[in-house]
Amino acid sequence: MKLIGPFQQLVTLKGLVLKGAIKDDELEVIEYGGILVDDEVIVQVGPWAELKSGDFDELEEITSPMVALPGLIDSHTHICFGGTRERDYAMRIAGKSYLEIAKAGGGIWDTVTHTRAASANDLLEGMLQRISRQILYGITTCEVKSGYGLSVEEELKMLRTIQKAQQSTPIELVATCLAAHTKPRDFPGTNQEYLTLMLSDLLPTVKAESLAQRIDIFTEEGAFTVAESQPYLETAKSMGFDLTIHGDQFSSCGSELGVNVGVRSVDHLEASTEKDILRLAKSDVIGTALPGASLGLGCPFTPARQLLDQGGCLAIASDWNPGSAPMGDLLTQAAILSTMEKLSTAETFAGLTFRAAAALGLTDRGQLTPGKMGDLVAFPTSDYRDILYYQGQMKPVGTWKNGTRIHG
């Protein structure tokens, strides 16, 4: 067994509810504490003096003031891609619309073109560079979507690259098949015909090779309608896949479908109405805010405060992608969202940890409690409130995955 500590504070997130608002006085904060890990799993968390006097085989002593949280979980990213889209961004801040940029050759299709042209090795190298940044940001679990291949062959190339990347990184990658990102321009048929092809020719191989356990679709004007999305999701569900949706990003049309079909999460929600939020809050579907997209596109933030006050579950993810959310810094984005939406520190931490884990269908991480994975992140301070106070500029000085230090 390994004993890690002492930390000036351990913010365990123990006992916090999965749904609804959370006050900061509900946080369990252990002053001058430690963590005992055995076989990658937390077995005890408590005061340092108590743990130090017990049994352990290895001591990893922390010699400078640090505050530890559960490892951060980025539950929505697109970090496997080729090329960049700085031209899109320059056009956007100069006042061009999403549609105008797409008509000028930008948008998702620009990234599809670059991703298809990239070799699998090029995609892998770029992805591993971004994962290295994720580790520096304190991320211990990272979801990664396909969706820039948009053909059977190219989607498989992306998903196999994500699978290969797992062999070269200590953090856990959760692959999601987003072949239904948009109908590719070079596909001669209808939206429905494209989705049918993905169901018949792609998803069986994804299942057979265990390339992903999750399916995503962009339900939005200009992508796939509710009528097109529903049978696709229901068929994927019957094949044994977990489901998530890009919904309510530009118009209110995805969250209701997500609730009706029973997806794990609906991600974006910037365009959600009060009715949408109330419906979502009453369901078991998790709402995932993507503040990076709001910052990248200059659009409203997810109504996170409203979702929590109505009793819903809020996760927070980066949406790191080359077009609408190029920043990739989850903590900075979450700190900004907390300011704009008046989220408590406890609610923000929950959205980055155990609630984000739930959006991925994971229950074994996100809290520093016995039985959970030994994933934690430490910041150079003696007061946990500093982490959001510095709005993401206080970076982690230590990241542990399964009890092993991978950064710092």
User: What pLDDT is stored for residue 86 in this prediction?
Assistant: 94
User: What pLDDT is stored for residue 222 in this prediction?
Assistant: 86
Q: List, for residues 212-253, the tens digit of each pLDDT value.
A: 999 999 999 889 999 999 999 999 999 999 999 999 999 998
User: What pLDDT is stored for residue 102 in this prediction?
Assistant: 82
User: What pLDDT is stored for residue 67 in this prediction?
Assistant: 98
User: What pLDDT is stored for residue 137 in this prediction?
Assistant: 97
Print the SS3 string covering the chain: CEEEEEEEEEECCCCCCCCCCCCHHHCCEEEEEEEEEECCEEEEEEEHHHHHCCCCCEEEECCCCCEEEECEEECCCCCCCCCCCHHHHHHHHCCCCHHHHHHCCCCHHHHHHHHHHCCHHHHHHHHHHHHHHHHHCCEEEEEEECCCCCCHHHHHHHHHHHHHHHCCCCCEEEEEEEEECCCCCCCCCCHHHHHHHHHHHHHHHHHHCCCCCEEEEEECCCCECHHHHHHHHHHHHHCCCEEEEEECCCCCCCHHHHHHHCCCEEEECCCCCHHHHHHHHHCCCEEEECHHHHHHHCCCCCCHHHHHHCCCCEEECCCCCCCCCCCCCHHHHHHHHHHHHCCCHHHHHHHHCHHHHHHCCCCCCCCCCCCCECCEEEECCCCCCHHHHCCCCCCCCEEEECCEEEEC
User: What pLDDT is stored for residue 97 in this prediction?
Assistant: 83
User: What pLDDT is stored for residue 152 in this prediction?
Assistant: 98
Q: List, for residues 70-124, the tens digit of each pLDDT value.
A: 999 999 999 999 999 999 999 999 999 877 898 888 889 999 999 999 999 999 9
**Residues of the chain predicted below pLDDT 50:** none
Model-wide pTM > 0.85: yes
